A and B are shown apart, each in its own frame.
Chain A
Amino acid sequence: MNINVTYSTNSSVSQAVTEIKDSLKGNNTNTIIYFASSNYSQDELSNSMQKSFSNAKVLGCSTAGEIISNKMLKNSIVAMGLSDEVISDAYVDVMDDIGDLEQVNTIFKSMEEYYGEKVIDMDNSKYFGMVIMDGMSGKEERVMERIGELTNIEFIGGSAGDDLKFKTTWVHAKGKAYSNAAIIAIFKSKAKFEVLKTQSFKTLDKILVATKVNEDNREVLEFNGKNAVEEYAQLLNTTVDNVASKFMTNPIGIDVDKENNEFFVRSPQQIIDGKIKFYCNILENMEVELLESTDIVEDTKEAVKRLEAEKRKVAGIINFHCILRTLELESKNQTKEYAEIFRDIPTIGFSSYGEAYIGHINQTSTMLVFYK
Chain B
Amino acid sequence: MAGQIKQLIDKIVDARAKGNKVVEGSIKAKLCLKGIIVNKYTEFSQDDPVIIEKIRVIAKEFDVKL
Contacts and interface: CB of A to CB of B under 8 A. Distances in A.
A142 B32 CA distance: 15
Nearest to A263: B32
A100 B39 CA distance: 33
A154 B32 contact: no
Contacts of B38: 256
Contacts of A283: 34-35
Most A C-beta atoms less than 10 A away, residue of B22, B32, B62: B32
Contacts of A148: 26, 30, 33
A254 B33 contact: yes
A264 B20 contact: no
Contacts of B16: 152
Contact of A285 (B17, B29, B35): B35
Given A256-B28, A257-B39, A124 B34 contact: no
Interface of A: 120, 124-125, 141, 145, 148-149, 152, 154, 254-258, 264, 283, 285-287, 358-359
B33 A287 contact: no
B35 A154 contact: no
A224 to B, nearest CB: 16
Given A124-B22, A149-B61, A149-B63, A256 B29 contact: yes
30 contacts: A124-B20, A124-B22, A124-B23, A141-B33, A145-B30, A145-B33, A145-B34, A148-B26, A148-B33, A149-B30, A149-B61, A149-B62, A152-B16, A152-B17, A152-B20, A152-B23, A152-B26, A152-B27, A256-B29, A257-B25, A257-B28, A257-B29, A257-B39, A264-B32, A283-B34, A285-B35, A287-B40, A358-B26, A359-B29, A359-B30
Interface of B: 16-17, 20, 22-23, 25-30, 32-35, 37-40, 61-63
Contacts of B17: 152
Contacts of A264: 29, 32-33
Contacts, number: 55
A95 B53 CA distance: 32
A353 to B, nearest CB: 19
A156 B29 CA distance: 14
A68 to B, nearest CB: 29
Nearest to B61: A149
A258 B39 contact: yes
Contacts of A125: 22
A287 B37 CA distance: 8
B51 to A, nearest CB: 9
Nearest to B50: A285
A258 B39 CA distance: 9
A230 to B, nearest CB: 24
Nearest to A259: B39
Contacts of A141: 33
Contacts of B29: 256-257, 264, 358-359
A156 B48 CA distance: 34
Contacts of B62: 149
Given A149-B61, A152-B16, A152-B23, A255 B33 contact: no
B37 A358 contact: no
B39 A255 contact: yes
Nearest to B62: A149
